[in-house]
Amino acid sequence: MPTCLITGVTGQDGAYLSQFLLQKGYHVIGLLRRSASSDTVGERLRWLGILDKVELVDGDLVDLSSLIRILQAHQPTEIYNLGAQSFVAASWNQPLLTGQVTGQGATNLLEAMRIVLPRARYYQASSSEMFGRIQEPIQNERTPFYPRSPYAVAKLYAHWMTVNYRESFGMYALSGILFNHESPLRSIEFVTRKITDGVARIKLGMARELALGNLEAKRDWGHARDYVRAMWLMLQQDEPDDYVVATGRNSSVRDFCRIAFSYAGLNYEDHVVSRSELMRPAEVDVLLGDASKARQKLGWQPTVSLEDMIAEMVDADVERHRKRRQA
């Protein structure tokens, strides 16, 4: 039975990746950072019905000693670093924390791996936010980066450290440059879940208005289930390399609202308002990915359309609120 270690195991991607790897017969070890809300951190794993199948171990990306002990104790053959302070908007208010966890945390894990398990395979969760103020209309692995938030800067540091460990020490270390990917497990502070949760509240008569920031920002949105499959495929290749993962279709936040409200039989123009205080200090206007390399070398392609993903998210949020009202 192969063993893997997943940081960020209780997040959206960590939960879906755990489910995917369990189905493939892996022993899944999940890094769990203890916090005051630790009684609720397993909700996504529980929602997928796998909480009791993942072995959760205490540790923290900012604590090198805990990472070394975990690698020594469990000897994973694959390491997926999905842990981060991943909310872009919060990174302006917590730039030092974001740098320590999202950037330095990746280096801590790479260093622990170099010391304990230099032959293990390492996946770094890089982000399309690194492209920022885009230098090319469609972004691929060769497109220059121009990060526009502390989060994106921290991700870029982790990305280049992954390249450096691969080239300096011959380690099997790579990055997946993932464009936006969503699901019913997305955290509520992200705009996509904020929209589908707002649709559910309005549909059920719990609210009348949904306040958002920039409605014209465009993103390349896919489903998290598709994207975690790409992560695994990357680590199965003979040689490590970096890959863009994207659908090749971008839509605006306004488009996302229109589709979500329309699915619920509502007109978004009757309910959505744009608030200046919800705008980012520095916006990323457009992101559109070219995943040709992943399609050709990994045989990967997305299977869930934007419309189907939004419908799944709306249905899940409607069901959540109905259950809460009945409780």
Residues 6+ apart with CB under 8 A from 55: 27, 28, 29, 30
Q: How far is the C-alpha of 101 from the C-alpha of 154, rounded, in Å?
A: 9
SS3 298: helix
Two tokens, residue 63: 């604590």
Closest CA to 75 of 57, 90, 95, 89: 57
Task: Tell me the torsion sign for CA atoms 107, 109, 115, 118.
Answer: negative
Rounded to 5 degrees, what angle do the CA atoms 123, 284, 232 make?
15
Residues identified as active-site:
127, 129, 151
Residue 3 near residue 26 (C-beta atoms within 8 A): yes
Q: What is the DSSP letter of 142?
A: T
Phi, psi for 278 (deg, rounded to 5): -95, 5
Q: Count CB atoms within 10 A of the CB of residue 15.
A: 29
The residue written with tokens 């709306």 in the block is 314
Q: What is the largest CA-CA distance in the chain?
A: 58
The token pair at 289 is 């990915």
Indicate the burial class of 70 (C-beta count within 10 angstroms; 0-12, 13-18, 19 or more): buried
Torsion, CA 43, CA 264, CA 287, CA 272, rounded to 10: -100
- Which of these, 216, 277, 272, 235, lies nearest to 124 by C-alpha position? 235
Helices 191-203/306-326 angle, 10° precision: 50
